[in-house]
Structure 1
Amino acid sequence: MPTISSAPKGGRADGSAPAPPVAVLGECVADAFTVPADSTSGTGNGPDLPTLGLEVLPGGGPANTAVALARLGTPTRFLGRLSQDVFGRLFRAHLTASGVDLGAAVTTGRPATLAVADLDAEGRADYSFHAEGTADWQWTDEELATAAAAPMACLHTGSLALVRPPGSEAVERLLERARERATVSLDPNVRPLLVDPAVYRERLPRWCAAADILRLSDDDLGHLLPGLDPGAAADVFHGHGVRLVVVTLGGDGALASLDGERLRVPAPPVEVVDTVGAGDSFMAGLLHALHTGGALGGRLDGLTPGLLAEALATGAAVAAATCAARGANPPWKHQMGGQRRG
């Protein structure tokens, strides 16, 4: 497994002033995994009732990315709306223990979003969502202006926060404002059971015009541009304005296109427990390497093919380590082989 790059404490890899943190905007989701039950529950009123066990773990694509970034050593601020229920307390404990800054998070009385995951034999999750009226989608322009006021090298967002009303349009407006002072990174993370993919397709040109980095899975690509191979799809997204497109391909690694120049990295071999959070962790590894290399903060003008190749390899390694653990439980920096720099 490759080592993870890190800057000297308090600064960048080249010894210059520390870069502002990466801000991650989006939802926290309580991931409930089904656990087969061997017993039944007796009620005293006829036949015993069958039971189903649930193991609840903290999740949600943006929250997963924030946790993975912080565990790798990147200063990370989470911009989320956190409930005050039992799941909200779970999210806060998880994010804080991983080193994520919650100073800009909003506390709300609305309930947390719940997703029930059923894993197939290959560890892939099939979700059912309980997301109506929950905390994550209620952003206002005023809340976002306050949450995103502090300096940041990059604003990363995506998943349902970009498409769930009523807050999604406010998030889009924030991207346009944030672009003036930070790199903008997006991961659509298409959820067809909750939002018609046509909604993503309609909004994607606007997102690409605001973004510098676009990460999609091959499944996302199948929903958004069915029939196009990753390279051809990347050219479509470049045409809308985004400079760096990364398509993750599961066990086949990842393809990146920087202004049309292609790079490919393999996926490290791993014994898969499940794939929950793998794409989110890939994104974190990518952003960690770009942040350490000083490429974030603007329009990726300092991004070289060499740094991009290192960032892709880091993303692939972090994703593989996440696949080796149950749920979205990304690795810490010391578990990735130590430091290369500093």
Structure 2
Amino acid sequence: MSPRQITVLGECVADAFTEPAATASELALRVLPGGGPANTAVALARLGTPARFLARLSGDVFGRLFRAHLEASGVDLSYAVAAAEPSTLAVAELDAQGQAAFSFHAQSTADWQWTAEELARTDLSEAACVHTGSLALVREPGAAAIEGFLVEAGRRATVSIDPNVRPLLVHPDVYRSRLARWCALADILRLSEDDLELLLPGVPLEEACDIWHAAGARLVVITRGAQGALASLDGERVEVPAVRAAVVDTVGAGDSFTAGLLHHLAAQGLLGGRLTRLRLDDVAEACRFAVRVAALTCSVAGPNPPWQSQLEQLAAVDRA
């Protein structure tokens, strides 16, 4: 069977959630370790996939929090860089539906300072897949180094990209200008319906999939929240319904979906190249697993993906 190890590259972000304070002149914050790529690495490891995370981890209080969280979840940090720069901070406000609006404090922070030399030290010989995206893929100076790394990674591993558009920090035009290039690098493109609206406003889901297939991505998956997910493999489509959940918040749900998708494909030996053995039935099965992982993430506060044992308990309840 193909190797199952998945390497994730990207940022760690300290997600600070507002909470009621003692007086109107105070603001209480609860800080949780987050960041899209970090969430995906944690979810993969908790599901049982050997997950390596390429991160630039600060030595500040947030960086120490990230390291402890990642290691406690079983993520391999052997190629993480000890960074001199500070960590990235995001302050989140939740609406009545549990959707988060973030304000970022990210100027010159550790996550965006990747160099080609740092990334060249990484051994990918055991990696079935390299996953990246989000802000690290658009914030300079490190973004160019990451794209170069993906060129090399794609010679032996499946490449997965999640754009995870953050319009308050990086204008969508920056993503639009690079997306065709990313599709040429990527075998898998996973994005949300909100991302789609920012990248291709008013374009129907199916047409967007065809645009991205034409640019090079074989598998395109668009997550739609309570509407489930649409997956397109070389133009063949399948829709997968969402799993009903008591939603606390939706933070990290998309990252958990990505982890569930990649975990299932890796477990079936379908990663590790250009997806030549992948069939639409395989995609549908992986997406059905992924929506369950996302639903469990929505049922708890913050980016806190489930462990494999929790998925097994849920499956047992469903069978009862």
Place the TM-score, normalised by the shorter chain, in its bin.
Answer: over 0.9
Mapping 1:85-164, distance limit 5 Å: 85-164=60-139
Query: One-letter code of the match for 2:92?
Result: A
Q: 1:191 aligns with which of 140, 160, 166?
A: 166
Instruction: Give 1 or 2 for the bigger CA radius of gyration.
Output: 1
Mapping 1:135-284, distance limit 5 Å: 135-284=110-259
Query: Deviations for 1:46-80, whole angstroms, at most 9, x for unmatched residues?
Result: xxxx1010000000000000000000000000001
Query: One-letter code of the match for 1:104?
Result: Y
Determine if contact 2:4/2:271 at 8 Å carries over to the other structure.
no
Tell me: CA distance 1:339–1:304, structure 2 relative to 1, closer, same or farther (3 Å): farther
Determine if contact 1:79/1:148 at 8 Å carries over to the other structure.
no
Tell me, what secondary structure is at the counterpart of 1:173? helix
Provide the residue aligned with 1:84 in structure 2: 59
Provide the residue aligned with 1:30 in structure 2: 14
Provide the residue aligned with 1:326 in structure 2: 301
Cα drift, residue 151 of structure 1: 2.7
Q: 2:274 aligns with which of 295, 299, 308?
A: 299
Q: Which consecutive residues of structure 2, in runs of 5 or more, have no partner in the other structure?
A: 316-320
Which portions of structure 1, spanning 4 or more consecutive aligned residues, are displaced by more than 4 angstroms? none
CA distance in 2, matches of 1:211, 1:271: 34
Cα drift, residue 243 of structure 1: 0.3
CA distance in 2, matches of 1:246, 1:306: 14
CA distance in 1, matches of 2:298, 2:123: 31
Provide the residue aligned with 1:47 in structure 2: none
CA distance in 1, matches of 2:292, 2:122: 31
Cα drift, residue 20 of structure 1: 4.3
Tell me: CA distance 1:127–1:197, structure 2 relative to 1, closer, same or farther (3 Å): same
Aligned-residue sequence identity (percent) comes to 64
Query: Deviations for 1:57-113, whole angstroms, at most 9, x for unmatched residues?
Result: 000000000000000000000001000001001000100000100001101111000
Q: Which consecutive residues of structure 1, in runs of 5 or more, have no partner in the other structure?
A: 1-15, 41-49
Cα drift, residue 286 of structure 1: 0.1
Higher fraction of helix: 2
Higher relative contact order (CA 8 A, sep 6+): 1
